[in-house]
Amino acid sequence: MGLGPRTLEKLCRAVGRDHVVWDAYDLVIFERDASIAGALPDAIVYPANVEEVAAVLEIAAEQQLPVVPRGAGTGLSGGAVTLRGGLALSLARLRRIIEIDPKRRTALVEPGVVNYDLGLEAARHGLFYAPDPSSQKACTIGGNAAENSGGPHCLYYGVTTNHILGMEVVLSDGSVHWVGGEDPDRPGLDLLGLLVGSEGTLAVTTKLLVKLLPTPEAVSTLMAAFPSIESASKAVSDVIGHGIVPAALEMMDKVTIGAVEAHYKAGYPTSAGAVLLVEVDGLTESARELTAAIEQILETDDAFEIRVAEDPAERELLWAGRKGAIGALGHIKPNYYLHDGVVPRTKLPEVLRDVGRIGEHYRLPVANVFHAGDGNLHPNILFDLREKGIMKKVEKAGEEMLRACIDAGGTLSGEHGIGLEKNAFMPWIFGPDDLAAMQAVKDVLDPSGRLNPGKIFPPAGQIEPKLIARSGVASEARWW
């Protein structure tokens, strides 16, 4: 629809003319995030502080413009897609690490701070920030909070919500509020818990107070190769069943191993049907004892090769292969569609067999790389977008894989959020009353429904889940 000259002038006065973009060619870079959906914004706005964020939201309220907060664009559920046009509100300029307090073990940061950069700064004080998504070197703390991101180490340390102590947020009317704080047992409603994971649908975050942890004295990382996904899955259940909760417990299947080795040479045996990457940390003696106990369990479960990283360089290489696995899949096909359904650990073999059968049915290669310890699956459907009619097959396969997770007693998302790509499936797990209660909360905080519209909640009037066809063409996408 485009923005009128008066609205553009107001935005330019609010944040500076150099920080408002509305040329059609320049908007294309903000058409999508890391998902497969796309829609052009009418303008991109780059505020530099909370005052400018508030001013932009006030202008948007006056003009009834949709506003979609955006971090680094690494989200995988379409959460940053400007589905109904309006403003893409980039928080890239809010990137200060305002303070690290080693005594309180906290950091006060702006939302545009890159996760990895916070980790580097915290390390100077003998501390670390635990949530570590695979996109850690690019994703931002604000985006992590919006999606309640996880990562390999969330098995032991918990996801983002377990590490956010407080936030400064701006509501859709431009009002600024602080929620949460350092007190461990704050009375009243948990507004912080409500906002973390709300995917930009309730407020725009402008500051975050996060918890830091002491760097472990020792870290032990081991790689174990198995003849099949079934034997590796049994090993996962057996490790947890013995009362051992590693810092991380990750799995990759044969397809993924081949792609990773072609790119990273991480040392994963290409003959393996599956590889587990296991990490424990803590005091030196306890880490050594846990590693030995885990090795014994894995050997009993048919691991035919077990290797413990001998130094930090080898550990980093093993993790580089895991965290770079999705990018390495480009050796097989140029495009991928990634989901993150969650299932009970004991159902991993069953659901993974279903995922394989679905891929075979649609003649689509599927690579599995996932957080096995907490049953958070990441089936990557590999395809070539240039193939005519391929998207319909890809999306139907993805829908059936999510359905398999739900049928096994799981849920729709472990860390990527619902966004645009899974909102039509919310009635699979929530009844009408549940969804109405959620919508009522949004109506209070965002009464005009302009903050990240079309995300999380099923399309208006939908009773039964349905597949939403997506062409990836911005002009068509606005009318989904």
pLDDT digits (tens, 9 = 90+) for 353-382: 999 999 999 999 999 999 999 999 999 999
**Same structural domain for residues 246 and 305?**
yes
Q: Torsions phi, psi of 423, nearest 5?
A: -65, -30
Residue 20 Cα to chain centre, angstroms = 27
62-113 per-position pLDDT tens digit: 999 999 999 999 999 999 999 999 999 999 999 999 999 999 999 999 999 9
Instruction: Using the 3D structure, point to which of 180, 214, 248 is the last residue of a domain.
Output: 214
Confidence bin at 228 (pLDDT 50/70/90):
very high
Predicted pLDDT at 463: 45
Instruction: Using the 3D structure, point to which of 71, 90, 109 is the last residue of a domain.
Output: 90
- In a domain, residue 480? The reply is no
Instruction: Using the 3D structure, point to which of 170, 193, 214 is the last residue of a domain.
Output: 214
- In a domain, residue 266? The reply is yes
Predicted pLDDT at 298: 97
Predicted pLDDT at 461: 57
114-139 per-position pLDDT tens digit: 999 999 999 999 999 999 999 999 99
**Same structural domain for residues 77 and 111?**
no
- In a domain, residue 465? The reply is no
Phi-psi region of 311 (alpha: psi -120 to 50; beta: other; left: phi over 0): beta
Q: Which residues pair with 411 in a beta bridge?
A: 342
The domain tally of the chain equals 4
Residue 166 Cα to chain centre, angstroms = 20
* DSSP single-letter state for residue 317: H
Axis crossing angle, helix 229-241 with helix 284-300, rounded to the nearest 10: 140
On whether the CB atoms of residues 47 and 14 are closer than 8 A, the answer is yes
Residues 285-297, mean pLDDT to the nearest whole number = 96
Q: pTM of the predicted model, to two decimals? A: 0.92
The fraction of the chain above a pLDDT of 70, given in percent, is 96
| Nearest-angstrom CA–CA distance, 443 and 349 | 41
Q: Does residue 468 surpass a pLDDT of 80?
A: no
12-60 per-position pLDDT tens digit: 999 999 999 999 999 998 998 998 888 999 999 999 999 999 999 999 9
| Nearest-angstrom CA–CA distance, 422 and 467 | 9
**Same structural domain for residues 199 and 232?**
no
**Same structural domain for residues 153 and 260?**
no
Look at residues 408, 296, 299, 272 and name the one whose alpha carbon lies nearest to residue 346.
Answer: 408
* H helix or E strand, kind and range, residue 201: none
Largest CA distance in the chain: 71
More confident residue, 480 or 250: 250
Predicted pLDDT at 1: 53
Using CA atoms in the order 283, 289, 295, 297, what is the torsion angle rounded to 10 degrees? -120
Using CA atoms in the order 3, 9, 15, 21, what is the torsion angle rounded to 10 degrees? 40
**Same structural domain for residues 287 and 204?**
no
On whether the CB atoms of residues 151 and 74 are closer than 8 A, the answer is no
Confidence bin at 410 (pLDDT 50/70/90):
very high
Look at residues 284, 292, 221 and name the one whose alpha carbon lies nearest to residue 250.
Answer: 221
Residue 301: count other Cβ atoms within 10 Å of its Cβ: 19
144-164 per-position pLDDT tens digit: 999 999 999 999 999 999 999
- Find the CATH number of the domain harbouring 223: 3.30.70.2190
Q: Does residue 212 surpass a pLDDT of 90?
A: yes
For tokens 């996801």, name the residue. 159
Cβ-based neighbours of 12, under 8 Å, separated by 6 or more? 20
**Same structural domain for residues 319 and 354?**
no
| Domain containing residue 276 | 218-328
Q: Does residue 471 surpass a pLDDT of 80?
A: no
Predicted pLDDT at 459: 85
Instruction: Identify residue 78 by its one-letter amino acid code.
Output: G
Least confident of 14-23, 48-57, 220-229, 459-468: 459-468
